[in-house]
Structure 1
């Protein structure tokens, strides 16, 4: 019998850019990677397509409706405070409607639009993986 806690989990996220090319990041308050700034997204529920999860999670977290515009990369988060291994597609996206705001203050400490050369640190593993897919390296704090 396999311990399901030892199996990789599935999540997803979205790299949302505004008209000025700034990236929307949220600050995590919970593990994995509590305190770090990252891409919005979350855990995929059984039977839910990753694309649907990304749209649902971002509406729950930020109160905005998004359109996915492509697949940017596959991110991995391995034992970053929760003892788990997460695999997550990261989509590129844009906001269709709504203004971002923290909808889950027990999970997120804030949000913001950031120029790619002025990102807050530390960044989550998926944010690093997304930036690497663009050919950018960001120092780890």
Structure 2
């Protein structure tokens, strides 16, 4: 997908009571095969918080509460002509158990300890967790 202007996405940084973080493995580009925070595109007329709540319900069947901004991600890949702005919100699960509701977009979901994250992470996840990219 080549873009002519920046697009807006959103994500949710969800931790359980043991401080494990919920990540999903992306099936589609951008960053297919990478693990990252669940989320997606912001629709016209939606706030980024509303989009985050909607995306998490659609993707994982969860009702979440947004608790504040964790990080504002700016992803620019000039070679592939992709430019995204994506706020990632701290969120808590209010109801539901995570399940893959959009298998065309997500291949796996898993809770990870912050000390044992997978190697292939999305740029948004790396930026939010302040991790150095792997080469």
For normalisation by structure 1, the TM-score amounts to 0.89
* Aligned residue pair count: 134
1:127 alignment partner, SS class:
helix
Contact kept, 8 Å, 2:64 with 2:95, in 1: the verdict is: yes
Structure 1 segment 1-141 matched on structure 2, within 5 A: 5-79=3-77, 83-132=81-130, 137=131, 140=134
Task: Indicate the RMSD between aligned Cα atoms, in angstroms.
Answer: 1.8
Q: Relative to 1, partners in 2 of residues 1:51 and 1:29: Cα closer, same or farther, differing over 3 Å?
A: same
Structure 2 unaligned regions, length at least 5: none
Instruction: Measure, in 2, the Cα distance between the counterparts of 1:81 and 1:123.
Output: 19
1:76 deviation in Å? 2.0
Give 4+ residue runs of structure 1 displaced > 6 Å after superposition. Answer: none
1:6 deviation in Å? 1.4
